[in-house]
Amino acid sequence: MKKVILITGASSGMGKETAKKLIKEGHTVYTVARRIEQMQDLKQSGGIPMHMDVTKEADIQRVVDVIIQKEGKIDVLWNNAGYGIYGSVEDIPLEDAIKQFDVNLFGLASITQKVVPYMRKAKSGTIINTSSMGGKMYFPLGAWYHASKHALEGFSDCLRLELKPFNINVVVLEPGLIATEFGSTVLSSLDKISKQSPYIDMMNKIAEGTRKSYETNNSSKPSVVSNTVSRIVNSKKPKTRYRFGKLAKPLVWMRIFLGDRLFDKIVTSQM
């Protein structure tokens, strides 16, 4: 069945790859991001790109209004926009931490609030929230990123129960290492921190591990995401969570079943 789909963070990586697949499947796909110039290929493929900053209420309202005016509904909202900053809690300015939450949680909540009334009225819809394996476990120097994803997990669980009476699905994605811009964003945030930081040795090891994971093809292709999202979109009763991509399942399993101290020991042994 052809559906009207809204995807945030669609200018690259998982969002763009999945948008292409959903367009090919015949769905009406609206793609939004700050970098609209990077979505022209989606337009040529049949998608409908629009500029939107998830931290700006006016942008969000405009996008939702346009889609409802043209289509009369939004069947699927994929909250995919997000990024990660890395650095010690001591080193990262609080305004950067606030921005992390503005994008990864509060912006997501804002667009969800604006879309839900239309889904509720239709008694149908699916909301997909991109969390991470980092929403279930953690690495040093990632406090604000992991905090935002842990918060998103709790937000999504509560939302799922609230919307169940209205036949609206809420699905959480927990990808592992995926070949996207995430690694370069992490490295960029570390580069901004003073080399005099007392955490410099830890920073160097995290940077080395990030390069190894993201710059040497040691991560899963975005197609694992597009295939998963396609299954969710085309399912009448999707699962509440989908965990996929390199290391996602084993690391989360270790976090859940090994306990804090043993998991801490495993993580620090890689440092």
- Distance of alpha carbon 26 from alpha carbon 254, whole angstroms: 40
Q: Which residue has the tokens 């990030």?
A: 210
> Phi and psi (nearest 5°) for 176?
-95, -135
Residue 27 one-letter amino acid = H
Paired tokens of 89: 């809690």
Q: Which residues are catalytic?
A: 145
Residue 38 one-letter amino acid = Q
- Helix axis angle for 107-122 and 143-163, nearest 10°, is 10
Identify the three-state secondary structure at position 60. Answer: helix
Would you give the DSSP letter of residue 4?
E
> Phi and psi (nearest 5°) for 195?
-70, -5
- Helix axis angle for 94-101 and 143-163, nearest 10°, is 30
